[in-house]
């Protein structure tokens, strides 16, 4: 190797536990930062224990994989339109995976001027999609 060569040591592939942790963190960060519930009369459905809903997990995993690809290919704008928008129309709809959930929306206790964010409850240790 000569001076000036770019050398990046190979990073070990993440194991299944690390991949699950990355996925959960992505879901929680994205939902917290992007989605909000404007008021209690909203017709949008959510469950903080999203990981107990297989359809939601499958859709969120598909979104995550497409997101990672879009980041690599610099096509995030298309990801929003082609992936996020159609999936979230189903995920949060009255016919989606959370339709029968007793906790339709969970609000964080914040100041009156705060837009409530969708809350999540961490999956139990060892949970895997």
Tens digits of residue pLDDT in 54-109: 899 999 999 999 999 999 999 999 999 999 999 999 998 888 888 777 544 443 34
**HEC states along the chain?**
CCCCCCCCCCCCCCCHHHHHHHHHHHHHHHHHHHCECCCCCCCCCCCCCHHHCHHHHHHHHHHHHHHHHHHHHCCHHHHHHHHHHHHHHHHCCCCCCCCCCCCCCCCCCCCCCCCCECCCCCCCCCCCC
The answer to whether position 129 is within a domain reads no
Range of the structural domain that residue 100 is part of: 14-122
The answer to whether position 6 is within a domain reads no
The answer to whether position 57 is within a domain reads yes
Number of structural domains, the chain?
Answer: 1
pTM value > 0.95: no
The answer to whether position 86 is within a domain reads yes
């Amino acid at each position: 190797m000569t001076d000036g060569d770019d050398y990046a040591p190979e990073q070990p592939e993440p194991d299944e536990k690390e991949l699950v942790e990355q996925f959960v963190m992505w879901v929680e960060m994205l939902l917290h930062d992007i989605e909000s519930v404007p008021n209690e009369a909203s017709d949008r459905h959510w469950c903080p224990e999203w990981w107990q809903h297989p359809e939601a997990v499958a859709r969120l995993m598909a979104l995550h994989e497409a997101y990672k690809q879009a980041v690599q290919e610099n096509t995030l704008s298309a990801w929003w339109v082609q992936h996020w928008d159609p999936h979230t129309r189903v995920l949060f709809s009255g016919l989606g995976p959370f339709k029968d959930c007793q906790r339709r929306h969970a609000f964080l206790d914040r100041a009156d001027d705060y837009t409530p964010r969708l809350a999540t409850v961490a999956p139990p240790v060892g949970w895997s999609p």
